A and B are shown apart, each in its own frame.
Chain A
Amino acid sequence: AQTVTQSQPEMSVQEAETVTLSCTYDTSENNYYLFWYKQPPSRQMILVIRQEAYKQQNATENRFSVNFQKAAKSFSLKISDSQLGDTAMYFCALDGGSQGNLIFGKGTKLSVKP
Chain B
Amino acid sequence: DTEVTQTPKHLVMGMTNKKSLKCEQHMGHRAMYWYKQKAKKPPELMFVYSYEKLSINESVPSRFSPECPNSSLLNLHLHALQPEDSALYLCASSQEGVFWTGELSTNEKLFFGSGTQLSVL
A residues in contact (CB < 8 Å) with B:
32-33, 42-47, 50, 52, 91, 95, 97-98, 100-102, 104-107
Are A106 and B42 within 8 A (Cβ)?
yes
Residue of B nearest to A33 (CB): B107
A101–B88 CA distance with the chains assembled, in angstroms? 19
B residues in contact (CB < 8 Å) with A:
40-43, 45, 48, 56, 58, 88, 90, 92, 103-107, 109-110, 112-115, 117
A29–B43 CA distance with the chains assembled, in angstroms? 22
Taking CB atoms, residues of chain A closer than 8 Å to B117 are 43
Are B88 and A95 within 8 A (Cβ)?
no
Taking CB atoms, residues of chain A closer than 8 Å to B92 are 45
Are A104 and B109 within 8 A (Cβ)?
no
Taking CB atoms, residues of chain B closer than 8 Å to A42 are 114
Main secondary structure of the interface of B (DSSP, over half): loop
A43 in contact with B40 given A97-B107, A100-B105 (CB within 8 Å): no
A102 in contact with B114 given A45-B43, A107-B40 (CB within 8 Å): no
Are B106 and A102 within 8 A (Cβ)?
yes
**Tally of A-B Cβ pairs under 8 angstroms:** 53
Taking CB atoms, residues of chain A closer than 8 Å to B114 are 42-44
A76–B72 CA distance with the chains assembled, in angstroms? 35
Residue of B nearest to A53 (CB): B107
Are A104 and B115 within 8 A (Cβ)?
no
Are B113 and A47 within 8 A (Cβ)?
no
Taking CB atoms, residues of chain A closer than 8 Å to B45 are 101-102
